[in-house]
Amino acid sequence: MRNLAIRLLALLGLVVAMTMSPVGVATAAHHAPPASPDDPLLHRQARTDEELKRQIELQLKLAPGGKQTAVNEVSYADGKFVVTFALPSSSGSFTTAAAADCPVGWFCFYDGANFGYPRGKLSDCGWQDLANWGWQDRTSSVHNNRGPRVDYINHFDYGDPSNGHFFDVFLFANTNGQAIASLGSNNNKADHVRLYC
């Protein structure tokens, strides 16, 4: 008797699902998977305009709260932090940055070595958490065109991080005007930055 009741409930659920579906077949809600900082598309130049559009979408999913301010840029905190993606090459081939290109008044960190885009740039003084913009553990080269010194910091969790159990480790400093094309053993480790003004 119990098995019969379970079968009837299952059949009733199927009938309800079929009558609610526009085509008469039970359907599951489709949800896009969350963005991952490991998605390869976030770390390379787009080949097409469609890939560039997808990069912008991934960045906004990875770090909600930003807004697209150009075809290849996402801005946060009223423009205090800006992520810039490389524009697709007209030939479909990849371009490589030849030199640091951080604008005056900013300090920049690049996802790729040798100043390879995407590029993050900040102008605010003081301590900043790069996770706010989905940029933790994504820095491979840097250029300081803003202040006397920028410290790059890594943190290590131990115990229960929800209780604030972590400690910061200084990685390296980037002085005004200095461009570092490769971070070597500090590659993809920075979680926080501190700009001295």
CA distance 186 to 151: 12
Give the pLDDT score at 99.
Answer: 79
Cis geometry, peptide bond prior to residue 64 (ω within 30 degrees of 0): no
Residues 83 and 125 in one domain: yes
Residues 116 and 173 in one domain: yes
Residues 148 and 70 in one domain: yes
H or E segment at 161?
none
Distance of CA 3 to the CA centre of its chain: 51
Residues 79 and 175 in one domain: yes
H or E segment at 150?
strand 149-157
Task: Give residue 53's domain range.
Answer: 35-196
CA distance 87 to 131: 24
β-sheet with 166-175: strand ranges across: 126-129, 192-196, 149-157, 166-175
H or E segment at 21?
none
Whether residue 96 is predicted with pLDDT greater than 70 in this model: the reply is no
Residues 167 and 123 in one domain: yes
Whether residue 89 is predicted with pLDDT greater than 70 in this model: the reply is yes
Per the structure, the count of domains in the chain is 2
End-to-end Cα separation, the chain, in angstroms:
77
Please report which confidence band the pLDDT of residue 148 belongs to, taking 50, 70 and 90 as the band edges. very high
Residues 75 and 5 in one domain: no
